Amino acid sequence: MSPALSLPLVEPDLTLLSARNSWKNPALTEKGRGEALTGAKNLAAAGYTHFDVAFTSVLQRANDTLAIILKEIGQDDLETFKDQALNERDYGDLTGLNKDEGASCLL
């Protein structure tokens, strides 16, 4: 049986602004792409190079992260299931706002 791994998302564009990303669906930054590649290399070095299936949210940054990892470990064609239920929390009207902006909306 293959192991089950859960990987955190890497840095998307809005993180640079300390903003809540939620469902805004920003792209990965170059740093985020580098983090995904480093994570993939670490997985490969630890022997995690074969998976039976992948699950991801429908957010582009999650799909990009997964694609980078799968390419690096040689499993580009792995069966992948995408589901909105795996998206991160939806912050509603606070999405895209940084913490100070979000706090001012609540006052």
**Any idea where the domains of the chain sit in the sequence?**
13-106
pLDDT value of position 107: 66
List Cα–Cα distances, 86 to 16, 25, 57, 80, 102, in angstroms.
23, 13, 5, 13, 24
pTM of full prediction above 0.85: no
> Encoding tokens for residue 21?
């990303």
pLDDT value of position 101: 67
Tell me the pLDDT tens digit for each residue of 26-82. Answer: 778 888 899 999 999 999 999 999 999 999 989 888 899 999 999 999 999 999 999
The domain made up of 13-106 has a fold known as Rossmann fold (3.40.50)
Residue 64, C-beta contacts closer than 8 angstroms, at least 6 positions apart: 27, 28, 33, 36
Q: How far apart are CA 36 and CA 58, in angstroms?
A: 17
